[in-house]
Amino acid sequence: MTRVLASQAVLFDLDGVLTDTAAVHRRAWSALFTEFLPTVAPAAAPYTDADYFALVDGKERAAGVRCVLDSRGVRLPDGALDDPPEAATVHGLGNRKNVRFTDIIESDGVEVFAGSLRVVDAVGAAGIPMAVVSSSRNAVLVLETAGLLDRFLVVVDGVVAGREHLAGKPAPDMFLSAATTLGVEPARTVVIEDAVSGVQAGHRGGFWVVGVDRGTGVTALRDAGADEVVADLGELLV
């Protein structure tokens, strides 16, 4: 925790780091591809959680769709961002997944990891500015539902990335944008991530990276560039 409390700022990923919404994303992606893949690739291997961690986790929504389809030899047109959920396009499938995700959030709410909340409290008490950097286009909805939105000076999410033409993770652009907005130096800023693509983004941007192992694996996070790996953010307070 010494490194965190000595930093100029802390940039948190959202799903799987602050909130247990990564599990909701896994459910939504699984429902989407378990239903869709047999209609276009009946002989393809069934979609599993291993696909989520290897192909989807941490990526922008359309990129995740493309990666899964590519892994099964399926090609679809990108379509448009506002394609209806029933459209057989990359963005249509992404929007179909998003409908499932928001339905779950609205019915079940959002769980905040207790250890992560303690770290947010400690960083805030130290007067260190914080930001959320998430590939999700639902970041503000999730933060509002969890009662966390007012804790963060900056939110760089999928909506901001699209508007400002920022490359998604594993490119460092979204983290660098948050650091620029906060007026801090990457080398003196901490990134906290649970996805390989997010760890790679933080590492490539020159940040100190804490990996949170929610199922990705310590070795995978270390290999991606994590400087430290914990199973729960609460471990930083010990």
Q: Of 108, 142, 167, which residue constitutes the final position of a domain?
A: 108
Residue 137's pLDDT is 87
Are residues 138 and 230 located together in one domain of the fold? Answer: yes
Residue 238's pLDDT is 78
Are residues 188 and 121 located together in one domain of the fold? Answer: yes
Q: Of 49, 80, 108, which residue constitutes the final position of a domain?
A: 108
Query: What is the average pLDDT score of the chain?
Result: 95
Are residues 137 and 216 located together in one domain of the fold? Answer: yes
Number of domains in the chain: 2
Q: Containing H/E element for 4? A: helix 2-5
Are residues 120 and 223 located together in one domain of the fold? Answer: yes
| Domain CATH number, residue 189 | 3.40.50.1000
Q: Is the pLDDT of residue 133 over 80?
A: yes
In whole angstroms, what is the distance from residue 85 CA to residue 88 CA? Answer: 8
The residues, any chain, with a CB within 8 Å of residue 103's CB and separated by 6 or more, are none
Are residues 87 and 192 located together in one domain of the fold? Answer: no
Annotated active-site residue 15? The verdict is yes
Are residues 74 and 15 located together in one domain of the fold? Answer: no
Q: What is the mean pLDDT of residues 5-10?
A: 96
Are residues 39 and 103 located together in one domain of the fold? Answer: yes
pLDDT per position as a tens digit, 24-47: 889 999 999 999 999 999 999 999
Residue 59's pLDDT is 86
Q: What is the mean pLDDT of residues 212-237?
A: 95
3-state secondary structure 127-166: CCCEEEECCCCCHHHHHHHHCCHHHCCEEECHHHHHHHCC
Are residues 85 and 118 located together in one domain of the fold? Answer: no
Are residues 104 and 120 located together in one domain of the fold? Answer: no
In whole angstroms, what is the distance from residue 63 CA to residue 77 CA? Answer: 13
Strongest mean pLDDT among 49-63, 83-97, 103-117:
83-97
pLDDT per position as a tens digit, 65-88: 999 999 999 999 999 999 999 999
User: Residue 149 corresponds to which tokens in the numbers above?
Assistant: 């939105």
The residues, any chain, with a CB within 8 Å of residue 65's CB and separated by 6 or more, are 90, 91, 93, 94, 97
Are residues 127 and 101 located together in one domain of the fold? Answer: no
**Bridge partners, 11 (sequence order):** 131, 191
For residue 61, give the nearest of 216, 179, 197 by alpha carbon.
Answer: 197
Q: Is the pLDDT of residue 1 over 90?
A: no
Return the percentage of the chain with pLDDT > 90, whole number.
Answer: 85
In whole angstroms, what is the distance from residue 230 CA to residue 194 CA? Answer: 10
Q: What is the mean pLDDT of residues 134-155?
A: 94
Residue 106's pLDDT is 87
Are residues 210 and 127 located together in one domain of the fold? Answer: yes
Residue 112 DSSP SS3: strand
Annotated active-site residue 194? The verdict is no
Tell me which residue range forms the domain holding 184. 2-20+111-237
Q: Of 85, 108, 131, which residue constitutes the final position of a domain?
A: 108
In whole angstroms, what is the distance from residue 102 CA to residue 105 CA? Answer: 5
Q: Is the pLDDT of residue 11 over 80?
A: yes
Residue corresponding to tokens 């499938």: 93
CA atoms within 13 A on the CB side of 122: 19
User: Residue 8 corresponds to which tokens in the numbers above?
Assistant: 């100029």
**Contact (CB, 8 A) for 55 and 67:** yes
User: Looking at 1-5, 25-29, 98-102, 173-177, which range is the least confident one?
Assistant: 1-5
Are residues 146 and 186 located together in one domain of the fold? Answer: yes
Residue 58's pLDDT is 79
